[in-house]
Amino acid sequence: QCVILDYGSQYTQLIARRVREQSVYSMIVPGDSTLERVTSYKPRLVVLSGGPNSVMAEGAPTVPDGLFEYCASEQVPVLGICYGLQLIVHSLGGEVVAGETREYGRMEVTTDLKSLLYHDEHSDKQMVWMSHGDVAKTLPDGFRVVGRSSTGAVVAIEHAERRIYGLQYHPEVMHSERGVETLRRALFDVAKCDRSWDMQSALDSQLATIRTKIGNTKHAVCALSGGVDSAVAATLVHKAIGDRLHCVFVDNGLLRYKEQERVRQMFKEHLHLPVTIIDASERQLTKLKGVSDPEKKRKAIGAEFIAIFQEFAEKLERDLGHKAEFLVQGTLYPDVIESCPPPGSGQKHSHVIKSHHNVGGLPEKLGFDLVEPLRWLFKDEVRKLGLLMGVPEVFIKRHPFPGPGLAVRCLGDVTAEPRALDVLRDVDEIFINALREFDLYDQIWQAFAVFLPIKSVGVQGDQRSHKHVVGLRAITSSDGMTADWFRFSGDFLAEVSNRITNQVSDVNRVVYDITSKPPSTVEWE
């Protein structure tokens, strides 16, 4: 219902989120999409996002050819935000100039309560979040100013008849105190969108799409990682095609404490989803013998995973008498959004896919058609969808776990010390259980233990000991890209340290990692 043309703002995804929070389906397409692409979605509202460029710069992104004509003839309203407002002004014959002062941050604006964007406000003053250098100097014919900053700059414009609106500030960020209400008026009072998007309708439409794509006879495979995304994707596809979905879970010997049993129990007993569990730990650990370079470890694990998956697919083909044609992946919306490249990079819009996004990085050349049922969802929406389908909450709220597993938490050669992985699993389990017991788990983005390849001197039971050192890491983050270490109370850390040294006899020293990312990374390798 709402198509957002992306001009590279860091807030574009947030606009999409805010619209969906109003139960209106939104999608993001690159700013240089063709008109056909935009119109193929039959939008009720077109939003032009912000962006880092200046509309006056040579080669600055512009609207798809014919967009305004299409919107006029089909009566589709347009809302430009920040760069989007300037695009409207510039494209329709007004003038945009470099502002005398750049306006950044929170500021008060005065709005015209006669505009549909503000008509049921109780006051014509509100605080908004501004971030721009250019300003609209003269408006195109038929437009009028409906909001000004305290310095007199144009911050909101409208052409009520053509239903074209522009906001120089960012209504989607929470610092714009009544921004969401303004967006709501654009969606419902201006564009007459329906509140038809919710998780149940997303679920129903996804089931129909999957059934159409896979059909009534074909088979699909899915590699489960033990993480939320692959679990929700598999549950969804299983609902759509039943046991024609074949899931595989590879235990590569680098998993958390009792992970194989937990995954088996959850999928087979709780979700009734058949899973082939392959115990490849010996095979994987043999391949890791003597490998201590972190990137070589990652590559060895990825390559082995692909080999195991391929063997699983070949066996399945022999059993079925034909090949499974589809591969289900838990790719999420933020992983696939086509975004604007940085200004001046000379690149065209690129299809950005995070390298970590799919289980084991299965290459497309394996010859499957991809089914990515979560491609339109954000992480919290995936969690809601999982809950709606009966995936247990403890599973849904699990911290992220890296593909190479404990290998990146057991520094150096993971086979050098025969008990290293077991020690690491025991310590990690004690730490995670304590987080749950003290109600801290959900406040933390990711927490885990690290096994260090060193020993230190201690004193245990009147005797000197020479045993292992383990590190604990707990971070807060919104996406794993930047992170801060979690401030535990001293009492909590003391309790965890006691439990670890009392229960895991190989460890006599526990350290807590107090570095943020950057300069550190989340993982130790």
Q: Residue 64, preceding bond cis, omega within 30 degrees?
A: no
The residues carrying an active-site annotation are 82, 170, 172
The two three-digit tokens of residue 525, written as one number: 């390798």
231 marked among binding-site residues? yes
225 marked among binding-site residues? yes
Helix axes 490-503, 420-437, angle to 10 degrees: 140
| Residue number, 400 or 458, with CB nearest to ligand XMP | 400
6 marked among binding-site residues? no
| Residue number, 305 or 312, with CB nearest to ligand XMP | 305
Q: How far is the CB of 401 from ligand XMP (least distance, A)?
A: 7
471 marked among binding-site residues? no
CA dist 94 and 403 (Å) reads: 52
**Residue 125 found at the interface with ligand XMP (CB under 6 A):** no
Judged by CB under 6 A, the stretch of 82-90, 344-352, 494-502, 517-525 that binds ligand XMP is 517-525
Q: How far is the CB of 50 from ligand XMP (least distance, A)?
A: 27
Helix axes 228-241, 199-214, angle to 10 degrees: 60
Q: How far is the CB of 326 from ligand XMP (least distance, A)?
A: 22
- First-last CA distance in the chain: 44
x/- map, 470-499, ligand XMP, by CB under 6 A:
----------x-------------------
Q: How far is the CB of 93 from ligand XMP (least distance, A)?
A: 47
Q: Which residues, 6+ apart, have CB-to-CB distance to 77 below 8 Å?
A: 44, 45, 46, 71, 163, 164, 165, 186, 190, 191
Judged by CB under 6 A, the stretch of 251-259, 324-332, 403-411, 419-427 that binds ligand XMP is 403-411
| Residue number, 190 or 522, with CB nearest to ligand XMP | 522
The two three-digit tokens of residue 125, written as one number: 């003053």
141 marked among binding-site residues? no
CA dist 76 and 193 (Å) reads: 11
The two three-digit tokens of residue 185, written as one number: 């008026």
Query: What distances in angstroms separate CA 34 from CA 5, 37, 64, 334, 465, one per listed residue?
Result: 11, 5, 6, 22, 70
CA dist 40 and 25 (Å) reads: 15
**Residue 403 found at the interface with ligand XMP (CB under 6 A):** yes
**DSSP letter, residue 415:** T
State the residue number with the nearest CB to ligand XMP.
403
In terms of Cα–Cα distance, which of 53, 78, 55, 54 is closest to 68? 78
Measured from the Cβ of residue 48, the count of other Cβ atoms closer than 10 Å reads 28
DSSP letter string over 385-410? HHHHTT--HHHHTPPP--TTGGGGGB
60 marked among binding-site residues? no
CA dist 149 and 237 (Å) reads: 51
Q: How far is the CB of 107 from ligand XMP (least distance, A)?
A: 35
CA dist 512 and 506 (Å) reads: 18
Structural element, H or E, at residue 47: strand 45-48
Q: How far is the CB of 410 from ligand XMP (least distance, A)?
A: 14
| Residue number, 52 or 227, with CB nearest to ligand XMP | 227
Helix extents (H) in 28-166: 35-40, 67-74, 83-91
- Single residue of 446, 465, 497, 508 touching ligand XMP by CB under 6 A: 446
x/- map, 350-389, ligand XMP, by CB under 6 A:
------x---------------------------------
361 and 186 in contact (C-beta within 8 Å)? Answer: no
Per CB under 6 A, contacts with ligand XMP among 405-424 are 408
| Residue number, 244 or 297, with CB nearest to ligand XMP | 297
- Single residue of 64, 402, 412, 471 touching ligand XMP by CB under 6 A: 402
Q: How far is the CB of 84 from ligand XMP (least distance, A)?
A: 32
Judged by CB under 6 A, the stretch of 1-9, 202-210, 211-219, 396-404 that binds ligand XMP is 396-404
Per CB under 6 A, contacts with ligand XMP among 284-303 are 298
204 marked among binding-site residues? no
Measured from the Cβ of residue 119, the count of other Cβ atoms closer than 10 Å reads 12
Judged by CB under 6 A, the stretch of 146-154, 193-201, 395-403, 426-434 that binds ligand XMP is 395-403
**Residue 381 corresponds to which amino acid?**
E
247 and 222 in contact (C-beta within 8 Å)? Answer: yes
| Residue number, 19 or 255, with CB nearest to ligand XMP | 255
Residues near ligand XMP (CB under 6 A) are 298, 356, 400, 402-404, 408, 446, 480, 517, 521-523
Annotated binding-site ranges for ATP: 225-231
